[in-house]
Chains A and B, each alone.
Chain A
């Protein structure tokens, strides 16, 4: 299997990615020549002190921040060349190919668990019935099917994060970006969430990139990358 994976193109390929803010004396280099390959099925962590460029890197991979230079391919598609986006409609790209998991779940407070997941499917064009069926399947898969009618405020932190993961998986993206996914959870629930993410990565052939400071889950990652002053070290 490892050999087979090595022959596949990486789901995320970054080459010489740089990002600076400001110019002249006020210039801050957030990322310097970052190159990274993440294969399908891999769960990797981005570590680093505050201001090291972790979130900047996550934002660029999530196509919500313009880099200064570099090239990026997502799921085999060239989306960034020499610091310029070459893929039109990045929002659609995010909807179809990237799933986001947030530190504080960011579920829509006015939608129940099922509709929070179904929303993403409907945004992608699924009809209401089909979206709800798929949402229920995902909630069952993440073992929160029993809370399908619950509003986010009625869910525990772990349940809400599982619903958020279900939402991230709704459109079957192959790239999942997680921003401190376990920061708001205790160690037991953090472990459960990481196990789920690993299960998703393996069973759905997805790449998971997580920004974290949570030492208790370091052993759940395939690779850990350290960012220091905008440079990436394995």
Chain B
């Protein structure tokens, strides 16, 4: 006769309600872990999108994500000629706000050369940019769909392709346009400012021949560090390997947010552990008279321990399953990415089991100390 099962069945409603409560709490823990992972993944998304080995940026900067970087556009030809470089592409990054369906749409605009590295990793729907101007590949998270027309700066762009899960480290959806359009968007002055500039003898354009970075794909046998060293011989340039770029993004750009969420997640985990322990301890305390009676009529300790431990594990595992199911079903509705990695979910499951066992140890200790004489008398 399984006493734990019978007791749970007898108070099924209350037990399930407790499981749901615990499930919600564990769901929040899991969501925080997912948000934490999502932050890191999102931070790395743009850096990984071009699938390159080397980032050439302005000297003395850690651009283009952590710091502003501006280098001459013809840098790409110089980089492409270095031994070991297979392909190179110029690239620009900027954040813009556009009007879309009567609301402000915040977009992270990447300008790239369509035949060179730096474009979208995969087109989910539609096709890649084929014309020199006014075409756009937009991420689905922006809400833009094929054939949508969006005004960026002084030009209107048509969405001809869409990507999935391409967002900036700040969570803004990415749109890809041609380098020429991006340079115009980023560097051309507004007409009044251009008129003043021209009146002063300028060109009316602040730097159309400027890009934020040049990305390079290397030959499999080429050493990124060696190529970086070569690049750095040009005094106006700096080179960052892909590995270093990812480190800059995770350790610098999103580090505080990452640590903030990490700390909060740890705190939440500790609170969950205390709550689990309290629930299980209280469940045991409510059964003191029954436990005393069991001891008095001769039930061995293993029967009593089994009842407490099995109930604690059932509570923890059912609560965890509810929490995991809940978060798995709603994670896509979060405004930013929630990444539930199997090993993280498994780790939380193991933590819940350990916490349940520790908490039930408290209950078991209390149960074993109960005097069977407690069962006698009122």
- Stretch touching chain A among B38-46, B165-173, B255-263, B368-376: B368-376
- Who on chain A is nearest to B378 by CB? A103
- Who on chain B is nearest to A56 by CB? B373
Q: Does B196 contact A (CB under 8 A)?
A: no
Task: Tell whether, in the assembled complex, residue A110 and residue B377 are in contact, meaning their CB atoms are under 8 Å apart.
Answer: no
Residue of B6, B295, B297, B377 near A103 (CB, 8 A) is: B377
- Who on chain B is nearest to A58 by CB? B376
Task: Tell whether, in the assembled complex, residue B372 and residue A118 are in contact, meaning their CB atoms are under 8 Å apart.
Answer: no
Task: Tell whether, in the assembled complex, residue A179 and residue B1 are in contact, meaning their CB atoms are under 8 Å apart.
Answer: no
Q: Does A19 contact B (CB under 8 A)?
A: no
- Chain A's nearest CB lies how many Å from the CB of B303? 7
Within 8 A of A (CB), among B1-58: 1, 3, 6-7, 9-11
Q: Does A81 contact B (CB under 8 A)?
A: no
Q: Which chain A residues lie closer than 8 Å to B11 at the CB level? A: 110
Q: Does B289 contact A (CB under 8 A)?
A: yes
Q: Does A96 contact B (CB under 8 A)?
A: yes
- Who on chain A is nearest to B292 by CB? A106
- Who on chain A is nearest to B372 by CB? A64
Q: How large is the interface on B (under 10, 10 to 19, 20 to 34, 35 or more residues)?
A: 20 to 34
Complex CA–CA separation, A111 to B293 (angstroms): 14
Task: Tell whether, in the assembled complex, residue A106 and residue B375 are in contact, meaning their CB atoms are under 8 Å apart.
Answer: yes
Q: Which chain A residues lie closer than 8 Å to B10 at the CB level? A: 109-111, 151
Given A91-B295, A94-B297, A128-B1, are A110 and B6 neighbors across the interface (CB < 8 Å)? yes
Q: Does A10 contact B (CB under 8 A)?
A: no
Q: Does A221 contact B (CB under 8 A)?
A: no
Task: Tell whether, in the assembled complex, residue B377 and residue A94 are in contact, meaning their CB atoms are under 8 Å apart.
Answer: no
Q: Does B192 contact A (CB under 8 A)?
A: no
Task: Tell whether, in the assembled complex, residue B372 and residue A123 are in contact, meaning their CB atoms are under 8 Å apart.
Answer: no
Task: Tell whether, in the assembled complex, residue B298 and residue A120 are in contact, meaning their CB atoms are under 8 Å apart.
Answer: yes
Residue of A102, A110, A128, A167 near B376 (CB, 8 A) is: A102
Main secondary structure of the interface of B (DSSP, over half): helix
Task: Tell whether, in the assembled complex, residue B6 and residue A115 are in contact, meaning their CB atoms are under 8 Å apart.
Answer: yes
Task: Tell whether, in the assembled complex, residue B300 and residue A123 are in contact, meaning their CB atoms are under 8 Å apart.
Answer: yes
Complex CA–CA separation, A124 to B303 (angstroms): 12
Given A59-B373, A65-B373, A106-B293, are A123 and B298 neighbors across the interface (CB < 8 Å)? yes
Q: Which chain A residues lie closer than 8 Å to B6 at the CB level? A: 108, 110-111, 115
Task: Tell whether, in the assembled complex, residue B375 and residue A102 are in contact, meaning their CB atoms are under 8 Å apart.
Answer: yes
Q: Does B275 contact A (CB under 8 A)?
A: no
Q: Which chain B residues lie closer than 8 Å to A92 at the CB level? A: 298
Interface centre among B11, B297, B371 (most CB of A within 10 A): B297
Complex CA–CA separation, A91 to B372 (angstroms): 10
Complex CA–CA separation, A111 to B3 (angstroms): 8
Complex CA–CA separation, A3 to B290 (angstroms): 42
Within 8 A of A (CB), among B271-297: 289-290, 293-297
Complex CA–CA separation, A104 to B378 (angstroms): 7
Q: Mark B307-337, 1 if CB is under 8 A from A, else 0.
A: 0000000000000000000000000000000
Q: Which chain A residues lie closer than 8 Å to B303 at the CB level? A: 123
Q: Mark A116-146, 1 if CB is under 8 A from B, else 0.
A: 0011101110001000000000000000000
Task: Tell whether, in the assembled complex, residue B298 and residue A179 are in contact, meaning their CB atoms are under 8 Å apart.
Answer: no
- Chain B's nearest CB lies how many Å from the CB of A103? 6
Task: Tell whether, in the assembled complex, residue A55 and residue B376 are in contact, meaning their CB atoms are under 8 Å apart.
Answer: yes
- Chain A's nearest CB lies how many Å from the CB of B178? 72
- Chain B's nearest CB lies how many Å from the CB of A116? 10
Given A102-B376, A110-B7, are A115 and B296 neighbors across the interface (CB < 8 Å)? no
Task: Tell whether, in the assembled complex, residue A94 and residue B1 are in contact, meaning their CB atoms are under 8 Å apart.
Answer: no
Task: Tell whether, in the assembled complex, residue A59 and residue B376 are in contact, meaning their CB atoms are under 8 Å apart.
Answer: yes
- Who on chain B is nearest to A171 by CB? B298
Task: Tell whether, in the assembled complex, residue B299 and residue A123 are in contact, meaning their CB atoms are under 8 Å apart.
Answer: yes
Complex CA–CA separation, A111 to B297 (angstroms): 15
Complex CA–CA separation, A163 to B52 (angstroms): 79
Q: Does A95 contact B (CB under 8 A)?
A: yes
Q: Does A62 contact B (CB under 8 A)?
A: yes
- Who on chain B is nearest to A91 by CB? B298
Residue of B289, B371, B378 near A64 (CB, 8 A) is: B371
The 4 closest A-B pairs by CB, nearest first: A95-B298, A110-B10, A110-B7, A94-B298
Interface residues of A (CB under 8 A from B): 55, 58-59, 62, 64-65, 91-96, 100, 102-104, 106, 108-111, 115, 118-120, 122-124, 128, 151, 167, 179-180
Known: A100-B297, A106-B289. 19 other contacts (CB 8 A): A55-B373, A55-B377, A59-B376, A64-B296, A64-B371, A64-B373, A65-B373, A91-B298, A100-B296, A106-B293, A108-B6, A109-B290, A110-B9, A111-B1, A118-B1, A120-B297, A122-B1, A123-B300, A124-B298
Interface residues of B (CB under 8 A from A): 1, 3, 6-7, 9-11, 289-290, 293-300, 303, 371-373, 375-378
Q: 12 pairs across A/B with beta carbons < 8 Å?
A: A64-B372, A65-B373, A92-B298, A94-B297, A96-B298, A100-B376, A103-B378, A108-B3, A108-B290, A110-B10, A111-B1, A111-B10
